[in-house]
Amino acid sequence: MTRGKIILIQGDMQVYVTCEFNGDMHPNMHGEEVLECFKNGVFQNYRGYERFVGNFNRKYFGYDEELIRESIGCGKRTIDVTKNWTDYLYIINESSDEWSIKTKENGEKLLPHSLAIIHYQTVSNIVIRKDEENLEKTSILSEQEFVDILNRLREASDLLEQVNKIFRDSRENVENDFCNAAAMQISHESTVVFLLKKMLHDKYDYIEHFIYELDYGRKYEAGMITDENGQDIDIHTPSLLYDFISNNGIICQKEV
């Protein structure tokens, strides 16, 4: 099993480390998602990092433990990996300062807004994010197209739940693959969600939050989402969600 951790450097000497995710953390597997989100600017603030880690854990691991802790012992803007035995570390520097990575050979510089991939005690790659101003921000989906897609996903999810309930309640249910509604349906939901996020540049996973945590907006309550001034943001419909992501999704905060 290929293990991995995701480390965020932010602000003035703030370093956050995830738990060790055990499985498929190779750069060509789950690590590719970390790299892609870094390139899209997901980790520019702690909230984006926290939300990514939560969704990442939910999708691939389902750990019921503390996912993120604040690291200590990273003085002089240096991270020492000479005693690291985790297969891969993904070290993301979103601070405005240059950091150093101490390896057994010598060391590497980690510039602001760059990501280092560490394989045991060796730096295997460093990626620098392009200037955000040069990234294409325009959505290629209209609001109506977005609303239609989310409504279809919701209807498919509701239908799947109804079919599963029928089998669960049936006295004649025989436990085999044919009695599992999920096995009867070829579902590409995760792919559709991924494409929607890419098309709308949803860096902070608000689409996944809307679908999975808010149950397509049906669990939304006033006060759950606020802006940086504490003002309520209503995203209980696909249309409102589209407008929010398109206009000012970066400043949103999720209140528990």
The whole-angstrom separation of Cα 81 and Cα 118 is: 8
Asked if 2 contacts 23 with a C-beta cutoff of 8 angstroms, the reply is yes
pLDDT per position as a tens digit, 174-222: 455 444 555 444 456 777 888 888 888 887 888 988 998 899 999 999 8
Asked if 94 contacts 113 with a C-beta cutoff of 8 angstroms, the reply is yes
Asked if 28 contacts 38 with a C-beta cutoff of 8 angstroms, the reply is no
Average pLDDT over residues 128-149: 68
**Which two structure tokens, joined as six digits, stand for 38?**
């870094």
**Could you tell me the residue ranges of all domains in the chain?**
3-133, 143-254
The whole model's pTM is what? Answer: 0.59
pLDDT per position as a tens digit, 78-132: 999 999 999 999 999 999 999 999 998 888 999 999 999 999 999 999 999 875 4
pLDDT per position as a tens digit, 33-72: 999 999 888 898 898 899 899 999 999 999 999 999 998 6
